[in-house]
Amino acid sequence: MSTFSARDLAIHCSRLCDQKGGSVVRLLQLPAGHASFDYVVLVSAGSDRLTNALVEEVWHFCKRHNVPRLPVEGESGWMLIDCYDVIVHAQSEEKRAYYELDTLWPLAREIAWEKEAKKLGDPDKAPKAEDAPKAPKRRTAVKRSRQVDADENTLDAAAVAAAEAARPEVQRTRRPAGRSGDVRSAAPRPRKPRADGDDAAPRRAPARGAKSTAARGAKTAEGKSPAAPKRTIRRKTSGD
């Protein structure tokens, strides 16, 4: 519900019509029990469009502040809005002069709304309690002694030393030589035993680039180089 009284609402309606561009704004207070409403606002407009704008401004004000009201009604050149205790008539200058609503209530008393509007102020511009800036919270500084800092550093060093002591030792084993990814044991491979009677030394494979005896003899036949004399080895027998 609205927090405005009927008199305050009538004053606000007069102020809104004046600020919106209306002219000759009059606020009339009717005697008690003379009609179903207590206040009448009369305002003139220079055009039909302005008459609609005046009552629309009052209607939106009532909507923002939860004021009971009826829908806007009227015709070209004469619009009104009924707020139960307050009625606003917005007329063109021709129709106001023709219908003469100013003389319709001879017992009504005119109120000087300008002075009272300055005292009331504009409720739309008044700062709300939740929008007021809050004072920043003050932070209290915590003083730390040098002894406390030294004790914390000592505890940190002791914790690091305990962690190092509890860490298990890792023994690194030497990886055997071989191809990458080839896992072999470090023990040497056993050699294959020789057959019986094989006492002669193992023959060596000829080196690369060495030529055979047949190849050397072929070169001699061609006359390129003389062949070396063959050496015969005579074995000693038991009869010699």
pLDDT single digits (tens) 40-86:
999 999 999 999 999 999 999 999 999 999 999 998 899 999 999 99
Single pTM value for the model: 0.53
- Lowest average pLDDT, out of 22-31, 101-110, 190-199, goes to 190-199
- Lowest average pLDDT, out of 49-58, 72-81, 132-141, 205-214, goes to 205-214
Q: Could you tell me the two tokens for 186?
A: 């470090």
Instruction: Specify whether the CB–CB gap between 78 and 42 falls below 8 A.
Output: no
Q: Could you tell me the two tokens for 42?
A: 């009369």
97: CB partners within 8 A, 6+ apart: none
Q: Could you tell me the two tokens for 102?
A: 């100013």
Q: Could you tell me the two tokens for 69?
A: 């009201």
Q: How many CA atoms lie within 13 A of 27 on its CB side?
A: 24
Structural domains of the chain, with CATH: 6-112 (3.30.460.10)
What mean pLDDT do residues 144-165 have? 65
- Tell me, what's the pLDDT at 228? 55
Terminus-to-terminus CA distance in the chain, angstroms?
151
The Cα–Cα gap between 169 and 71 comes to 90
Instruction: Specify whether the CB–CB gap between 6 and 84 falls below 8 A.
Output: no
- Tell me, what's the pLDDT at 155? 60
Q: Could you count the other beta carbons within 10 Å of the beta carbon of residue 58?
A: 27
